[in-house]
Amino acid sequence: MSHEFLPCSYASLCSGCDWLLKPASEQRVLKLEAFKTIWGNHFGTLDQLPKDLHWVPTTLGASRDRVDLMIDCRSGSQKIGLFDRFRTGLVDLQGCPQLSPALEAWFKEFKAFEFPIQRGSVRLRVAPDGTKGAWLDFANVDVKTLLDERTTLDRLRQVAIVEIGQRRKRLVEKEGRLKLEDPILEPWFETTGFDGQKIRLYSTIGTFTQPGFVVNDKLVREVLTTLETVPFTRVAEFGSGIGNFTLPLALKADHVDAYEIDTLALEGLKRTLNEQKVEAKVTIRSGNYQGDKALSLDFSNIDVLFVDPPRSGLMKFLDPLEAMSESSRPRAVLYVSCFAESFAQDAKRLLDMNYKAARVAVVDQFPQSRHFEIVSLFVL
C-alpha cells in the first residue's frame, strides 16, 4: 500500500472519503492550514498559538471497527453503501479499504442478507474480541415487516448481536417469538491507560464511539502524554460518554467528576467503572451541562478541567469558570475537539480568563477526509 494514497475502486464514485484522491502529505498541510485559518478568523493573529503545532498521524486505511451505511431496496434490488458524490443515489459497496480486516469480513457477510424493507440505515461493529454487531435503524413499518417475516432476523441473530431502532432495543427470542427488549451493554470498545494497558468499555452497538481501536489509541495516547505535564489529583470531565478518557483518568487521579447527557452511555460507564473497581473514585453527573444546569457547578477544588464536547462546544459549561477568581480556577484545561470552529470560540473565552495555549495537537483521526481532532492544553 502506498504511503501517500489509499487505493480504492470507488474513489471516483463514493462520497465517503472526500479527500481520498489527495496524497497524505497534502492532507496534512491542508488540515494544519485549515486549523490556523479558523483560529486566525477568531483571533486575527496566530500569536496566541504555540510555535509548533503537533501533528499526530494515524493510519492510512484498515482503521475502522464500526461503519454506518445505508440500505435501499426501492428499485427492486438491494444496495448497501454510501451516497455517491452527487448525492443522487447509493454506491453499492462490495468492500472498503477503510475497514479493519475483521469489519471488512463482517460487512461482506452482512451483504448476503436480503432485507424486505424500503430503506434504512445500519451500523456494523466488531468488538475487540471479534463479536459482531448490527444496529438496524428502520422505519416502524419495516421493522414490523421484518419481525413478521422472521427468517432474515433469525439468520442475522445466529451470527451477530442485533439492535433495532433509536432506542437500541435488543433482538431476542422468547417463547418461540422474536421480541425487542431493553438494551444490553457489551464490551464493544476499548481505551488505553497511562501504562498502556487496554481497558474494555461497555456500550450498545448504537452508542457513539471513536471509529476504530487503532485511531482511538493514537488520540488517547496524545491526551495522556499531554496530561503527564500537568500534576493533578482531582479532575472535572465534561462529555465523559462511555469512559474513553474517564477510565484512564480514574485509574490515576484521586477523583473524577464526570458530566454527560447520554444516560445510556452513562450506564456503560458505570459498568466499566465497576469492573475496574474504581467506581468510588468517580462521581457521575447526568444532565445537559451546556445549558443552565452548568450554573450550579463548582470548580474550586479541581486541578484539571478536561472537556470533550460535541460539535456545538462548551456553551454555558464555561460560565462558572468565568465567574471564579483567577486564583481559584483549575490550573489547566485540556480540551479535545472534533470541530475547530467551536473550539476556537471556547479558546477565546479561555484566553480572556488568562489561560494560554501551552500545547496544541492536530490528530489525523479521520484520514482521507477534511475532518480532524484537536487536543489542546491551556494553563494559567
CA distances from 126 to 118, 190, 211, 364 (A): 26, 12, 11, 22
Q: What domains are there in the chain, each with its CATH number?
A: 33-58+187-379 (3.40.50.150), 66-184 (2.40.50)
27-53 pLDDT, tens digit each = 999 999 999 999 999 999 999 999 899
Indicate the average pLDDT of the chain. 96
Q: What are phi and psi of 56, to 5 degrees?
A: -115, 100
The CA distance from 125 to 201, in Å, is 14
84-102 pLDDT, tens digit each = 999 999 999 999 999 999 9
296-328 pLDDT, tens digit each = 999 999 999 999 999 999 999 999 999 999 999
pTM across the whole model? 0.95
Segment 74-89 shows an average pLDDT of 94
Cell 458530566 belongs to residue:
259
Residue 3: which pLDDT band, with cuts at 50, 70 and 90?
confident
Segment 16-21 shows an average pLDDT of 93
pLDDT > 60? residue 202: yes
Angle in degrees, 0-180, between the axes of helices 140-149 and 151-159, rounded to the nearest 10: 90
The confidence score (pLDDT) of residue 369 equals 94
Cell 486541578 belongs to residue:
303
Residue 1: which pLDDT band, with cuts at 50, 70 and 90?
very low
Segment 214-223 shows an average pLDDT of 97
Burial 176-214 (b: 16+ CB within 10 A, else e): eebebeebebbbbbbbbbeeeeebbbbbbbbbebbbbbe
Catalytic positions, written as ranges: 338
The CA distance from 145 to 126, in Å, is 27
pLDDT > 70? residue 2: no
The confidence score (pLDDT) of residue 224 equals 97
Candidates 294, 212, 209; CA nearest to 245 is: 209
The confidence score (pLDDT) of residue 343 equals 98
135-172 pLDDT, tens digit each = 999 999 999 999 999 999 999 999 999 999 999 999 99
- Residues 334, 304: contact at Cβ < 8 Å? yes
Secondary structure of the chain in the HEC alphabet?
CCCCCCCCCCCCCECCCCCCCCCHHHHHHHHHHHHHHHHHHHHCCCCCCCCCCEEECCCCCCCECEEEEEEECCCCCCEEEEEECCCCCEEECCCCCCECHHHHHHHHHHCCCCCCCCEEEEEEEECCCCCEEEEEEECHHHHHHHHHHCHHHHHHHHHCEEEECCCCEEEEEECCEEEEECCCCEEEEEEECCCCCEEEEEECCCCCCCCCHHHHHHHHHHHHHHHCCCCCCEEEEECCCCCCCHHHHHHHCCEEEEEECCHHHHHHHHHHHHHCCCHHHEEEEECCCCCHHHHHCCCCCCCEEEECCCCCCCHHHHHHHHHCCHHHCCCEEEEEECCHHHHHHHHHHHHHCCCEEEEEEEECCCCCCCCCEEEEEEEC
Residue 63: which pLDDT band, with cuts at 50, 70 and 90?
very high
Residue 109: which pLDDT band, with cuts at 50, 70 and 90?
very high
